[in-house]
A and B are shown apart, each in its own frame.
Chain A
Amino acid sequence: MGASGDERGDEYTGNERAGNESTNNESTNNKRADNEYIVEMRHITKRFPGIVANDDISVGIKKGEIFAFLGENGAGKSTLMSMLFGMYEPDEGDILVRGKKVVLPSSNAAAALNIGMVHQHFKLVPNYTIGENIILGIEPIKRAWGLLPYVAMREVNERVRSLSKSYGLEVDPTLRIEQVNVSTQQRVEILKMLYREAEILIFDEPTAVLTPQEIEFLLDIMRELRNKGKTIILITHKLEEIKQIADRCAILRRGKLVQVLRVADASTQEMANLMVGREVSLTREKSPAHFRETILAVEGLTVRNEDKFEVVRDVSFSIRGGEIFAIAGVSGNGQIELADAVAGLAKPYQGKISLLGKDITGDNIRHRTEAGIAYIPEDRQKYGVVLDFSLADNLAIKNYYRPPFSENGVLRQDTFRQFAERLITRYDIRSGQGGKTVTRSMSGGNQQKAIIAREISLDSQLLIFVQPTRGLDIGAIENIQNQILAERDKGKAVLLISLELDEVMNLADTIGVIFSGRLLKISPADALTTHEVGEYMMGVKA
C-alpha cells in the first residue's frame, strides 16, 4: 500500500505540472510540505449508472485561498464537492483533509471536520426565523429552574448578530425566512456554516440566483472570509466571478480534470475555451437591424399585485418586427409582472395591450398563444415544464389540443413522438431516452433548451424571453443567445427581460430600463453605455 501511495503522489504532482507550467515551482514545494494543502483529493473516480461523473481527478486546495471549480453543467464539479461534503462516497481515490486521509460517510462527518456547504438550492425552513434556521440540528438547550428544557434563543440571536457583524453579513436573526429576500437567505446559509465553525466553505453556484449588486456584495463577503483565514471552494461556471475573486481554478470537462491554473495568469477567453473544449465567442455577432411594422404595443399598462400594490405603473412601449427590446432592471422592479401581463398570466389593472394592431387585453392565455405570443418564463421548473411529464408531453403542451396532435379530443401519440424527435435533433436537447425521458431527470440547461425549442416552434410573432440564460453554462448561453438573434433576424419581435446587464447590452436593439414599476428610459441600445443603464437601474438617474 505504501509503495502505491508514493507512486500516486508522484503522479499527482505530475498532473498539476502538466496542467500549468507556472505552477511548477509550487508543486515541488508542495511535495516537501504536503500538509500545506488543507484539502486534497487524490485520483477520485465516481461513477453513476451510464456515466463517469468524475474520472481520476486529483486536486489540492490550500488553506486560506479561494479555489474555484469551473466547468459546464454536468462536468462533475458538484459531484466532486458532494463527495467532500459527505453526500457521496468516491468509488476510487482518497480524500485528505489537513493531511489526513478521511472517510466521509455523511455530511455530519464533513461538518465534524469543519467543512460547510452552501447549496445552490437553499435548505431553509421558510416559517422559522433566521436564528432558528441557523441552529436547526444543534439547538443549545437550557433548563429553566434546572428542569424545563428550552432553546436558548436569546443567546443564539446574540451570537448570530455578533457573527454577522464581524463578517459584514448584516441580518436580523428574528426575521422569518419567508420575510427576507434571496440574497439574505444566502447570507443565512453562510452564517449557518460560520455558526458551526466551518473552516472550509463550499459554495455551489452561489450567484445563480442573485442580482448584479447582490453578486458584488457576496464577492465582498467571500473576500472578507478569506481574509479571516477561511478556505473557500467556489463551484461556478461564471468566468467573471472567478476572474474577480478566485486565486486558483480547476477546470473540469466531462468528468475529467482539464487543468489547474492560477487565475491571474489566464484570460477569461482562455478559461472559456478550456471549459467548453473549443473556441467560444464571448460576444455575439449581431447583424444590423431591419425594423418592420409594429408587432406589440403596450399603452399605459398598470399591474397590481395581490396586495393591490402597483408593481407595474403606466408603462408604454412598442416592439417592431426584427427588434430586440430588452428590459433592464434590478430584480423585483416589476419586469416579471410586465411579462406576465403581456403573456396573459397576470391581469392588467389599467392599460391596453395590442398585438399586430388587435386589442388582446382581455384575451386569455391560450388565445394570446394562438394570436402569436411565445413566452419563455423566468421560473422554468415552476411554469415552463411539468417536471413529471415526459419530454414529448412537455414539448407538445401548447399544441396538444389541436390537430395534428389530437383529433376529436383523442391524442395522436405518433405525432407527439415525431414532433419530439424533430425538436430534439434540431435543438440538440440531450435526454436519456428521447421523448420518453421524464423531464425531471434532465439537466436544467436541457430543460431550458426544450422550453425554448417549444416556444420557437410555435412560430409566434412575439417572443418573450425572461432570464433565458439564468443558471446555464457558456455553451448553452451561446446557443440560446444565438437563437434569440436568429428569431430577430427572421423578423420576429423579441421582448427580452434579463437581470444580466451584459446580456442586455449584447443583444438589445432597444433598451428600456425599469425601476420600481416605471419604464424610466427607452433608448436605442447604442446610445447608452453600460454605466448609464446601471444608473437608471438604480433609480439614480431619471
Chain B
Amino acid sequence: MSQKAPDRDTPGRGTPDRDTSKTGGGPGRERAPAGRAGRAGQSGGGGGGGARRQSPAPGGRLLRLLDDDRTSPIALPLFSVFLTLIAASLLLLALGRSPLTAMAAFLRGSGFMIKPSYASGQNIITDLLSFLGILAPMLLAALGVIVSMKAGMFNIGIAGQMLASGFIATVLVGYSDLGSFIAKPLVILIGAAVGAAMGALVGFLKYRFNIHEVVSTIMFNYITSYITGFYINTYYRDIITRSARVCSTASRLTITGIAAGSLRPTIPLGILIALAGVFIVRFLLDRTTVGFELKAVGLNRDAAQYAGIRVGRSIVLGMLISGLLAGLAGVTYYLGYYNSIVPKELASLGYDAIAVSLLGNSSPVASIFASGLITIFQKGSIYMSSTVGVPKEIASVITGILLLFSACGTYIRYQARRRREKLAEEEAKLAAASERGNA
C-alpha cells in the first residue's frame, strides 16, 4: 500500500502527471460518483481516494498490480492462473460439462472438499494425506528446477534423476529386509546421493566439455529409463502387475498401519522433507556464500569469474544440488507415494516441475502454492474424470495452458504497462482539456 503515498502527494504539483493518472480519474473524468466511492471503499482505506476524488479506474488498478515492481511477482502468476481457469472453463463448456462441477471435482479428488461418498476406511483426511504424498515429490522436483535455474542452467533431467535414485534405493533397500529405522533414512540418503551424482555429472560435462545441460539431461533421461527398464524386466518384474516388485513397507517413506477409528491413513513423510527443503533452499540461495556464487554465475558468468568466483565449481555444485533434490523427489515418489516402478516410464511430474517453478517465479516459497495448484489438477483428475466424465488427460491440458500463460508473464506485464501508459495519456489529455475549460 505504501507505494500509493507518492500518488496522493502529486496533485499539489498541479500537472497532469503520469503519477496522478495512474490512480485514475482526474477531475475531468466522467464517472459516476457513487461508483467511485464504492471502489475506493473496496481498497480498504489504503487508497483513501474517495475524499480526494482519486479513485482508481477499475482497469487501472489491475494494470498497476501487474506492472508494479513490488506487486507483479504475485499478481502476474495469479493473473496467469485466472486466465488458465477461464480457458479451462471454456474447454469444459465446449465438452458440454459444467466448469464449476469439474473444478469442485478436482478439489474433492485432492481432499480439499468433501466427496458425496467414500470407500471404507477413507474420508477427506485420507484424501488430503494422499494429496500431500504426491505434493512432496512435486515440490522437491520444483526446487531442483529452481536451483538449476538460479545457477543459470535448465535441469530437464529431473525425471531421469528421480528414476535413477528411486530404482537404486528400491533395489538396495526396498528389496532388503532392513527395519524401518534403518531403511527409511538409508532410502533418503541413497536417493540424495544418486541424484546428486547424476546432477554433478551433468554439471561436470558442461564445465569440462561444454556439453549443454539440456542435451545431456535429455539423453540421461533415455539412458536411465531404458537401463532401469531392462533390469526391472529381467530381474525384478512382478508377473501380475508387470511393474517392478513392490518395495518393503519398512523402506517406504510413509507411515501406515495406524488406525484412527475406521480410518487407515497413509501418512507421507516426504512432505516434511519437501517443506524443510523449501526453507533450506531459500536459505541457501539468499543467505549463504554458496548461493551468492550460484546466482552470480547464473546471471553473469564472466563477471563471476572476474570477481574470483570459481565458475566450474559453481556449475557442478548447482547441478549437484539440483540433482540431489530430484533424487529426493525420486524416493518420495517411487518409495513413498507409489511403492513400485513402472519400467521404461519417466514420471511426468519431472516435467510438471518446470511449470511449477515457472509459475512460482523461481521462488522456493511460492513454489509451495504453485506445486499445490498443479497437483490439485493432476491428483484430482482421476476423481474428476470418474464423476464428471471428462478424460483425466484434461489435467495435463490444463497444466499445459497454465505453463503457457506463465511463460507469457513478461508479455502480460509489457501489455499492462503499455495500456497503463495509454490510460495515463488519456487522463492527461482530459485533464488538460478541463484545465482549459476552467480557464
Contact = CB atoms under 8 A, between A and B. Distances in A.
Are A and B physically bound partners?
yes
Interface of A: 47-49, 89, 91, 345, 364-366, 369, 375, 377, 382-389, 393, 397-398, 400-401, 406, 409-411, 413
B302 interface: yes
18 contacts: A49-B18, A89-B425, A91-B18, A345-B305, A345-B306, A364-B308, A364-B310, A377-B306, A383-B306, A385-B303, A386-B295, A386-B304, A397-B303, A406-B288, A406-B289, A409-B289, A410-B289, A413-B287
Given A382-B300, A387-B299, A410 B305 contact: no
A480 B310 CA distance: 30
Interface centre among B290, B292, B310 (most CB of A within 10 A): B292
A382 B299 CA distance: 11
Contacts, number: 68
B94 interface: no
A365 B305 contact: yes
**Contact-size category for B:** 20 to 34
A398 B307 contact: yes
B292 A400 contact: yes
Interface in B246-300: 287-290, 292, 295-296, 299-300
Contacts of B288: 406, 409-411
The 8 nearest A-B residue pairs measured at CB: A366-B308, A383-B306, A365-B308, A397-B307, A386-B300, A388-B299, A386-B299, A386-B303
Contacts of A366: 308-310
Contacts of B307: 365, 397-398
A382 B19 contact: no
Contacts of A397: 296, 303, 307
B345 interface: no
Interface in B139-179: none
A387 B425 CA distance: 31
Contact of B295 (A89, A91, A383, A389): A389
B22 to A, nearest CB: 9
B314 to A, nearest CB: 12
Interface of B: 17-19, 287-290, 292, 295-296, 299-300, 302-310, 425, 428
A91 B428 contact: yes
A160 to B, nearest CB: 34
A103 to B, nearest CB: 12
Given A91-B428, A386-B299, A411 B292 contact: yes
B67 to A, nearest CB: 11
B interface: dominant SS: helix
A393 B81 CA distance: 33
A400 B309 CA distance: 10
Contacts of A364: 308, 310
A365 B299 CA distance: 19
A398 B17 CA distance: 42
A409 B299 contact: no
Nearest to B18: A47
Nearest to B292: A400
B427 to A, nearest CB: 11
B352 to A, nearest CB: 27
Nearest to B296: A386
A89 B429 CA distance: 13
A348 B19 CA distance: 56
B303 A382 contact: yes
A185 to B, nearest CB: 21
Contacts of B295: 386, 389
B289 A411 contact: yes
Contacts of B289: 400-401, 406, 409-411
Contacts of B302: 382-383
A338 to B, nearest CB: 16
B300 A410 contact: no
A384 B287 contact: no
B176 to A, nearest CB: 36
Contacts of B18: 47-49, 91
A480 B18 CA distance: 36
B5 to A, nearest CB: 13
